Amino acid sequence: MFASVNILSQNYTIDTIQIKSKILNEIRSIIIFKPLNISNTDSAKFIYLLEGEDSKYIYQELNARFKDSISNLIAVGIINPERRRDMLYINGADKFLEFITSELIPLVEKDYKTSIRILNGHSFCGAFTVYSLIHKPDCFNYFIASSPTPIMDLIKSEYYQRIDSSSNNKIVFCFSFGSKDMKQVRKWSLLLKDNLEGMELQNLDWRFKVFKGKNHYNSDLVALFWGLDFLN
């Protein structure tokens, strides 16, 4: 890790750090948002925002909406220099997921007792969220995927049956799209919903929603707010 830059903003701090990743063989920029009143000994909730470029706006909106209820929520925004490479499972999603679970999470959470860990993504990042659920289900407690695309091979029933039977903990999976979303997003998300409805699941608690009047470009925040409403 290289030197970090700290900024005080209202009731939280913003830290920008650089991580030299051995897995990705490159330097990655990470933005961390921490409430002012949180200490290293506290039990913290972590949310990993795959749209790191928009993470400041997202955290400001979360802070405005949830206020005191996110007093122990730390947000981690991951900057994406090559979105298609990192997020698409036909490209380098496996390495990017390994970077998050093996390098990023141990670094940012090392001084805290983590109570809940959330992964959030929209569009390509939403597809990566579904991919992460399938391949590393026990690394997060909540997976919030809005307008996930492409998820064609990720809708297979056997993936979710395996998650349900092998998981050690209860997992919440929220996926959604806007009623005016792109055709392929609506098609594959509905097929995934149909597959999940046909299964009896014990440990995988899935939720699905269509946001009326929203399209592919403005459904991300409402989907995140909706997903966070299920937090314990």
Q: Which CATH architecture has domain 5-228?
A: 3-Layer(aba) Sandwich (3.40)
* Cα 84 from Cα 105, distance rounded (Å): 22
Total H helices, total E strands in the chain: 8, 9
68: exposed, middle or buried (Cβ count in 10 Å: 0-12, 13-18, 19+): exposed
The answer on pLDDT for 70 being more than 70 is no
Categorize the per-residue pLDDT at 58 as very low, low, confident or very high, splitting at 50, 70 and 90. Answer: very high
For the stretch 124-162, pLDDT in tens is: 999 999 999 999 999 999 999 999 999 999 999 999 999
166 conformational bin, left if phi > 0, alpha if psi -120 to 50, beta if neither: alpha
Categorize the per-residue pLDDT at 3 as very low, low, confident or very high, splitting at 50, 70 and 90. Answer: very low
Grouping H, G, I as helix, E, B as strand and the rest as coil, residue 120 is strand
Least confident segment among 38-47, 97-106, 223-232: 38-47
Predicted local distance difference test score (pLDDT) of residue 167: 85
